Structure 1
Amino acid sequence: MNFSFKIAVRFLKSSKGQTLLIVLGIAVGVSVQIFIGSLIQGLQKNLLNKTIGNSSHITVISKNQDNRISNYNQIINKITHISQDITNVSISYDSPALINLNNKNYSVLIRGLNLNTASKIYHVKEQIYEGKAPKRNSETIIGKELQKELGIKLGDELTINTNIGQEYTLKVTGFYDLKVSSLNKTWMITTLDTAQHMFGGDNTITNIEMQVKDVFAADQIADRLSNVLSSRLKVENWKSQNESLLSGLNGQSISSIIIQVFVLVSVALAIASVLAITVIQKSKQIGILKAMGITDKTASLIFLFEGLLLGIIGSILGVLFGLLLGFSFSTFVTNPDGTPIVALTFNYSFILFSVMVAIIASMFAALIPAKRSSQLNPIEVIRNG
């Protein structure tokens, strides 16, 4: 085996042009794999962050007619013990209402939140660009779009008509921007106590919201919760409510895989064709070696080692080219504010996987010329020169 390795190195050195061509081909293939894979992963991560990153992944609601959940502290304790993958849990009391302003009615959703826990999901406190979060009863903050539509200022009071026929006055203490127009236009965020008092839901809530470590496992965790929690509760997850988004993400992943497969096939064919030519070019040397006593297996190992060496060297260069390409893309392809259009995600497991696949593909590509070399007849090769 050591002899075959030395001959393989000598063959590669004797044809530097061919060796360089194959190495560059592998390097380009691996770099394209890494760049495309990182780009797709970055796109998916960016899309998920914009759509569900600052929202609930799993929501527990009531099946009762009044939509209220009592003894929620016991339910939360049970939830946190079911799965360690649940990271943030928050409660809310939500109910529709009408704002009466200048003889006009505006439909809104009153969201009574525990802002300390809710901010871990929605980052409400961080998104307040003017004023402050509500701390006392009868205080609220509203979104950017709703503030523009109503034309109000900090400290103004809004008359709220609830769905139980009551009228309340809420003081606006701040304005927020959750970067989602529909939420900015409809959500009025207040304290949990305020919402419970407004809608007569003391000591009850309407939602238990949570986030999980792996967003793609949300449906599995939701199923586990459904099997354990009361039948009067319904467990929803973001995947069941965003089928079109999932379809788009799956389409991106499939496209990435198809591109990478074709890149691998083209690289493997290039290696196989060049090494097959090498067998012809080196047939006289192989014939002499066989006449000196090397076995067919040893002759085959020469080309398998060539494939292995080419795969390793090409993959290392490919990783460097891929990282350089990704860095250049993130640095020069930017938004007007200087931020990357797509923040590439470099997954080291994916990079290692790409390297291993390229090396294995290189060795498989060397099987054909390896088999051909083992079938060479040394007498015929030497006789025919």
Structure 2
Amino acid sequence: MMTMRYEFRIGIGFMTHSKGQSIFIISAIALGVAVQIFISSLVTSLQASLIDRFLGESAHISITDGNTRDQLLTLENKPLIYGNFSLTQNRITDSSNIVDYLKDYENIKIVVPTVEGNAIYNRGGKTTSLTIRGVDLSLGDRLYNIVDRIIKGVPVIDSENILIGTRLAQDYDLKIGDIMQLTLSSGKIETVRISGIFDLENTNSNTNLVIMDLNKAQRIFDKKGYVTNINIQIDDVFQAPILAEIFQQKYPYLEVVPWTRDSENIIKALKSQTETSVIIQIVVMLATSMSIASVLLVTVIQKMKEIGILKAMGALDKSTGYLFIIQGALIGFFGSVLGLFFGVAVIEFYVNLAQPSFDITIAPSKLILIVFVSTISGIISGIAPARKCMKLSPIEVIKGE
């Protein structure tokens, strides 16, 4: 009785007998796999670069107090003039409990509570509107990456010192140690000193953003003990809508906003890249599978006499079919493994030639998946030749009919 080990040896024998043909098809598969690795790694790395560029230093999910006017209308059983606000407007009253809950939540990297407000700065007849962000710098730096991008002065914020952007400093000829008088929405004037100038590589931030100590911001905006925003970064940015919905249900009196709400164009671009990559990989895989099937069908014709002799010696139809399933699996496996080296070489060549502005990384899990899929593809490609082989009559084959 023939065993799988025997069929395995015969299958390898068929491959080694036509070495040139086997090397050619394995090399063709390796090139196809190299294309898959290059395209998938390039698209994945480009997506990661775009996400980091647009979202790396901003909140993936933001929690604010929401529309307090609607709350007031539903909580009070008396007529109100539209436009009235609750006394706790623009503040999150139980922020400490919310922050503690979020810190322990799975998939959340950073939770940064802030107090945000507006101020007017006037100097030499020029006036600009500023966004004040009060934050604990040691915590906020993990999200906004401020400290490493201080280009002048020192990263210090306290009851007197603030940080401003490089564009604001240029527009108003401000230097380290200069005093700024900020006019708040309440009409109050707050005096602060510039301790550092940052470059966040964002025109709006560099022009309008002022980084202030959290406690000072709470005091000047009358938010002592409260915050106005809770900013969250998560591991997988595409999970933001799902997590935002969960948090919204838990805190229905607040407004939970994922980054995706106002970023439809970015999402479409990322999806388009992914879909294009998948289509190209599928086409390459189909071409590879057809190549394997074609070569194995040719092998059936070339080895008809040998197959006939095997069947005459007692080999079952199913056993002779296994020969080509095994060959398909081996060709797919060795081709994909060789393709891994080709793929890495192509990426290295591209990096040295094009010098892209982002790092191209190769995910080991993706390499394993490509080898697995290529091997399965080889097995599937061997089914048609195997069925053709199983239908051969040993008597007719030996006679040469």
TM-score tier after normalising by the smaller chain length: over 0.9
Question: What is the identity, as a one-letter code, of the residue corresponding to 1:297?
Answer: K
Helix, strand or coil at the partner of 2:223: coil
SS at match of 1:126: helix
Matches of residues 188-337 of structure 1 in structure 2 within 5 Å? 188-229=210-251, 231-334=252-355
- Counterpart of 2:112 in 1: which secondary structure? strand
How big is each residue's C-alpha offset from its partner over 1:147-200, in whole Å with a ceiling of 9 and x where there is no partner? Answer: 222221111122211111112222111111112222111111111122222222
Corresponding position of 2:10: 7
Match of 1:142 among 158, 161, 164: 164
Match of 2:32 among 14, 29, 33: 29
- Kindly provide the CA deviation profile for residues 270-300 of structure 1, in whole angstroms up to 9, marking residues without a partner as x: 1111111111111121112222221111110
Q: What amino acid does structure 1 have at the position aligned with 2:227?
A: I
Query: In structure 2, the residue corresponding to 1:141 is in which secondary structure?
Result: strand
Q: Please, what TM-score do these two structures have when normalized by structure 1?
A: 0.94
Q: Is the 8 A contact 1:96 1:163 kept in 2?
A: yes
Q: How many residues align?
A: 378
**Would you say the 8 A contact 2:163–2:198 is kept in 1?**
yes
1:175 aligns to 2:200 (yes or no): no
- Structure 1: 4+ residue segments shifted above 6 A: none
Letter in 1 for 2:39: I
The 10-residue stretch of structure 1 (375-384 or 360-369) with the greater mean CA deviation from structure 2: 375-384
Question: Match of 2:249, SS?
Answer: helix
Contact 2:157 2:195 in 1 (8 A): no
User: Where does 1:30-109 land on structure 2 (aligned, <5 Å)?
Assistant: 30-63=33-66, 64=68, 65=85, 66-81=89-104, 83-109=105-131
- In structure 2, what is the Cα distance between the partners aligned to 1:159 and 1:302? 85
What per-residue deviation string (whole Å, max 9, x for no partner) do you get for residues 80-117 of structure 1?
Answer: 34x22222111111112211011111111011111111
**SS in structure 2 of the partner of residue 165 of structure 1:** coil
Q: 1:136, 1:298 → 2: CA distance? A: 80
2 CA distance for matches of 1:215 and 1:263? 30
| Long gaps (5+) in structure 1 | 335-339
Take 1:145 and 1:375, find their aligned partners in 2: how far apart are those partners?
79
Per-residue CA deviation, residues 233-285 of structure 1 (Å, 9 max, x unaligned), is 11111122322111111111111100000000000111111111111111121
Aligned counterpart, 1:348 = 364
Q: Who is 1:128 aligned against?
A: 150
Paired with 1:3 and 1:133, the residues of 2 have a C-alpha distance of 73
Which whole-Å CA distance do the structure 2 matches of 1:377 and 1:85 have between them? 62
Q: Give the AA of the match of 1:365.
A: S
Distance 2:98 2:382 in 1: 61
Kept after mapping to 2: 8 A contact 1:79/1:225: no
Report the Cα distance in structure 1 between the residues aligned to 2:157 and 2:173, rounded to whole angstroms.
Answer: 23
- In structure 2, the partner of 1:368 is 384
Residues 101, 159 of structure 1: 8 Å contact kept: no
Once the two structures are superposed, what CA deviation does each residue of 1:123-153 show, in whole Å capped at 9, x if it has no partner? 1112112111233313211112222222211
Opposite residue 145 of structure 2, the aligned amino acid is H
Shift of 1:232: 2.3
Contact 2:61/2:256 (<8 A) preserved: yes
1:121 CA displacement:
0.6
Q: Given residue 115 of structure 2, which amino acid in structure 1 is its aligned partner? A: Y
Amino acid at match of 1:176: F
**1:235 and 1:191 mapped to 2: Cα distance?**
24
Instruction: Give SS of 1:216's match.
Output: helix
SS, match of residue 186 in structure 2: coil
Q: Contact 1:134 / 1:190 at 8 angstroms: preserved in 2?
A: no
Which deviations, in whole Å up to 9, do the C-alpha atoms of 1:289-339 show, x marking residues without a partner?
Answer: 2222211111101111111111111111011111222233234432xxxxx
Contact 2:47–2:270 at 8 Å: present in 1 too? yes
Q: Tell me, in whole angstroms, the C-alpha distance in 2 between the residues paired with 1:243 and 1:346.
A: 28
* Equivalent position amino acid for 1:141 in 2: L
Q: For residue 74 of structure 2, what is the aligned residue in structure 1?
A: none
Report the CA distance between 1:77 and its aligned residue: 1.9
CA contact (8 A) 2:157 2:163 kept: no
Equivalent residues of 1:272, 1:368 under 8 A apart:
yes
Contact kept? 1:333, 1:341, Cα under 8 Å? no
> For 2:399 and 2:94, how far apart are their aligned partners in 1?
94
- Which range is displaced more, 368-377 or 164-173? 164-173
